[in-house]
Amino acid sequence: MKYLLLLNNDRRAVDSWRDLSPDEAAALRAEEMPRWNTLFGWIGEQGIEVDGLELEEPNKARVVRVRDGETLVSDGPFAETKEQLGGYFLADCKDLDQAIELAQRVPLVGTGSVEIRPLVE
């Protein structure tokens, strides 16, 4: 069963990253890396096929709508929300329980959230 896992950051965390210098951002990233590596190790042990990407911050998003044949493009995310999408996993899990197991091991789940969405196959 394939699941889309939406990795949501707390908005305050995203805002605070914006003020970091490149060096500070790199240091924060290096600090978080072992936790992500632990997750990837677990994923490997479980034999779960996972694909995913980290996304540019929501401020750099664009929204496209077509109304009456006209294309309207606006800057910024689709919705201004307390939690903001920062990346995703596409995971082929045995069942929802395994997807939840995976979700609770994602480092940002302690401050943000992971939304699990089954795909229509």
Partner 1 sequence: MKVLALIYGDESAWESLSDEDRQGVYARYRAFGEQADGKVANGAEIAPTSAATTVRVRDGETQVTDGPAVELDEPLGGFYLLEVGSLDEAAEVAAHIPGAASGAVELRAASEEEAP
Nearer of residues 19 and 121 to partner 1, judged by Cβ = 121
Helix (H, G, I), strand (E, B) or coil at 109: helix
Q: Does 32 bind partner 1 (CB under 8 A)?
A: yes
73 lies in the site for partner 1, by CB under 8 A: yes
**Cβ at position 80, least distance to partner 1 in Å:** 10
- Smaller CB separation from partner 1, 19 or 97: 97
Closer CB to partner 1, 24 or 51, in the complex: 51
Answer for which of 12, 20, 33, 42 binds partner 1 (CB under 8 A) is: 33
Cα separation, 104 vs 30, in Å, equals 21
Among the residue ranges 13-21, 41-49, 72-80, the one whose residues contact partner 1 (CB under 8 A): 72-80
Nearer to partner 1, 27 or 33 (CB): 33
Backbone angles phi, psi at 55, to 5 degrees: -110, 155
Tokens 């996304």 belong to which residue? 55
Please count the CA atoms within 13 angstroms of the CA of 36 that sit on its side-chain side: 13
Yes or no: say if 46 and 98 are a contact pair by the CB < 8 Å rule. yes
Coil, helix or strand for 26? helix
